[in-house]
Chain A
Amino acid sequence: MYTTDMYEGMIAETVTVTTSDGTAINAYFARPLGPGPHSGMVLAHHMPGWDEWYREATRKFAHHGYATICPDLYHRTGHASPEDVAAKVRSEGGIPDDQAVEDLAASMRYLRSLPNSNGKVGAFGTCSGGRHVLLAASRIQGFDAIVDCWGGRVVMSEAELTENFPVAPIDYTADLSCPVLGLFGEEDGSPSPEQVATHEEALKKHGKDYEFHMYPDAGHGFFYYDRSVYRQEQAVDGWQKTFAFLEKHLS
Chain B
Amino acid sequence: MCTMIAEKSDITGCGKGTQNWIQVNQVNVSYDHPSQMTLEHALNIDFTDESQGLGARIAVELTPQSAQRLVELINVALDRGAAVDPVAFE
Contact = CB atoms under 8 A, between A and B. Distances in A.
Interface of A: 47-48, 77-81, 83-88, 90-94, 127-128, 152-153, 160, 165, 188-191, 219-221, 227-229
Contact of A81 (B4, B46, B55): B55
B68 interface: no
Interface stretch (B12-20, B26-34, B69-77, B78-86): B26-34
Contacts of A228: 38
A221 B40 contact: yes
Contact of A153 (B1, B53, B54): B1
22 contacts: A47-B2, A77-B54, A80-B53, A80-B54, A81-B55, A83-B35, A84-B57, A86-B35, A87-B35, A87-B54, A87-B57, A87-B59, A90-B28, A90-B32, A90-B44, A91-B6, A91-B30, A93-B5, A127-B2, A127-B33, A153-B1, A220-B40
Nearest to A86: B35
Given A78-B53, A78-B54, A152-B2, 17 more contacts: A47-B2, A48-B33, A48-B35, A80-B55, A84-B55, A87-B35, A87-B46, A87-B57, A87-B59, A90-B6, A91-B6, A91-B46, A91-B48, A92-B6, A152-B1, A221-B40, A228-B38
Nearest to B50: A88
Nearest to A85: B54
A219 B50 CA distance: 34
Contacts of B40: 189, 219-221, 229
B40 to A, nearest CB: 5
Contacts of B30: 90-91
B4 A153 contact: yes
A50 to B, nearest CB: 13
A18 B27 CA distance: 33
Chain B's interface size range is 20 to 34
A87 to B, nearest CB: 5
A1 to B, nearest CB: 34
A81 B55 CA distance: 7
A217 to B, nearest CB: 15
B55 A189 contact: no
Nearest to A227: B38
Contacts of B5: 93
B54 to A, nearest CB: 4
Nearest to B39: A228
Contacts of B33: 47-48, 90, 127
The 3 tightest CB contacts between A and B, nearest first, are A190-B1, A91-B28, A80-B54
B65 to A, nearest CB: 18
A47 B8 CA distance: 18
Given A79-B54, A87-B54, A88-B54, A128 B35 contact: no
Contact of B1 (A83, A88, A189): A189
Contacts of B8: 91
Contacts of B46: 87, 91
